[in-house]
Amino acid sequence: MRYHLWFVQRYPKRRVRTVALWFIDPPLAQAQGVIVHGDLTLRVTPVVLPRVPAEVLLDDPRTACFAAGADRGPWSDEELCRRVAKALRAGQAENAPRRVDTSTALPGGCTPCTAPRYA
């Protein structure tokens, strides 16, 4: 919630969206699409990466970095890695990269990390 509020305050003219990325099925209490804290209500879009086709994430330079954790479909691990690397290189060449704070859900809970985002 703090990340979301920080982005809203930092970029008041932009729409800020919060997405919870999971590598496993989240606990039911954390899988909800809404967080309520006092009078503040925050909508969160939960995404379980292994349920998302990697091919879909590779189509957009802004989501290609998450494809490695997605459903690889018929591709081998090596083929998926090759496609992710290619998409990331193409995204860097076409767009100026920006960094954005994200949280990834691991079996031990949420771990803050920094991931590249391509605008």
Q: What are phi and psi of 99, to 5 degrees?
A: -105, 145
Over the stretch 57-81, which tens digit does the pLDDT of each residue have? 999 888 888 898 999 999 998 999 8
Q: Which residue has the tokens 């189509």?
A: 59
Token reading at 95? 């767009």
Token reading at 19? 């997405």
In whole angstroms, how large is the CA radius of gyration of the chain?
15
Q: For the chain, what is the domain count?
A: 1
Distance CA 67, CA 44 (A): 20
Q: Which domain holds residue 44?
A: 2-118
Higher per-residue pLDDT: 73 or 31: 73
Greatest extent of the chain over all pairs of C-alpha atoms, in Å: 48
pLDDT greater than 70 at residue 15:
yes
pLDDT attached to residue 8? 87
Averaged pLDDT for residues 41-61:
91
Averaged pLDDT for residues 12-22:
87
pLDDT greater than 60 at residue 41:
yes
Q: Which residue has the tokens 């890695």?
A: 81
pLDDT greater than 70 at residue 97:
no
